[in-house]
Structure 1
Amino acid sequence: MVLPFPIRPMSGPASGRKPGLSTALRPLLAALVGLALWSAAATAQDAYRIRAGDVLRIEVIEDEALGRSVLVSPDGRISVPLAGPIRASGLTLEEVQAALVAQLAPNFASGPTAFVSIERLAERPAPVPQRPVAPATDAIYVMGEVGRPGLIEVAPGTTVLQLFAQAGGFTRFAATRRIQLRRRDAAGAEQVYPLDYDAILDGRSPNGSAVLVEGDVIVVPERHLFE
């Protein structure tokens, strides 16, 4: 049987076609979605109000030695060499950054360039259980010139010397002879106990074996110029 019209070979579904508008726009749409997500994350961080227990990352372009991680102490402050204590709790990253630049400025010929970012958020307290449960760990604050400042969860019975190891040792700015252990007594008053790391290592002080308790704060200050 002869068909009344000629048969032409069929082309493939994509043969001779130009990409549709939706196909051409897919990369652009993906890029726009990524940009929107990044912008939302950046806006959330800029609007975040810093809290005690947060760990901030400090970078100073003009002096890399000042770059460090700093803990926001229970009183809401951070401490940076050459700048001293800076109030951080309740402020945004931009506000803390401006305060840091202002306090560093007298130490530089021209205004320093500093950046402050969130390295780690403080652990939020868990809901209070109906029955008191003894904590499996003790929360200890370590602040100042140590390798890893922050809130450290330690096993009950952890000693001062063991905590120094868990905190990553000391920075080159550390005044190791003027370390402080701050502890609240039963009446709620803060007691300050001096710790001399050099004397502990030499065996001249037994304080390295002192057992830490929940809520203790270890402060490793910055050393003086000729200390």
Structure 2
Amino acid sequence: MNDWRMGMQIVFLRFLAGLTLLLMVGTSAFAQTAANKSEHLLGPGDVIRITVYQNPDLTSEARLSENGSITFPLLGSIELNGLGLNAAEQKIGRLLREGKFVIKPQVAVQLLEIRSAQISIIGQVGKPGRYPIDTTNSKVSEMIASAGGIAATGDDVVTLVGTRSGKPVKIDIDLPAIYEAGDSQLDVRVANGDIIYVHKAPNFYIYGEVQRPGVYQLERGTTLLKALAQSGGVTPRGTERGMKLHRRDETGAVTVIEPKMNDVLEAEDIIYIRESLF
């Protein structure tokens, strides 16, 4: 009986050991896969620092050329285009070992500047142009800040155009909603080749019997009452009764409505304040 119990314990322990090993292998594979997905791949323009343990003369900084290669002491030209940092370390170490320059090289490659991955930011921003990105971390709001922020004439809903999984995408990003919700998931990650376009802020028009008729920038949630306040209010000759609002729909057709003071305006609305008859 004791022998049977001992045998069952041994089987159970072996089962636990096998299960533990399986979990460790699976976890390791998952972690490696996640790391590979997020790892930056070196490309033209990237700047790296290469350190070889106990060989300070081999420490150097290099910028990848147009064809993705660098010049390294003793080895000459080495192509690193498309390699992650770990793969670059292994390649340099292998070449040093095969050339019998270092017996057991321990190579470390550090990414100093990312220049191979860039996006374009155009439209109503402080400094339109091309900007380098960190392909694993850069988000739309951060890149807008890098471009000097949205100009006073810009809209706070920006458009991203790019490619994801080989398919073209167009995404509208509501920047105020990101900050108000405090949800970073709403902030889209950028990818190499993306274009961020900041539209000109929408306007509304008010004319007729108001103190300052003209064109005004439409802020989010602007009501008719606020629009009247912005234009200085109705003149002594005007009246709030019988106001007309001209609104164009998606087809281009214009609808004339009599708005209420709490109605929220839309882009390109035209408000007319008529003269009082009495």
Query: Looking at both structures, which has the greater relative contact order when contacts are Cα pairs under 8 Å and sequence separation is at least 6?
Result: 1
TM-score by length of 1: 0.35
TM-score by length of 2: 0.29
Structure ID, larger Rg: 2
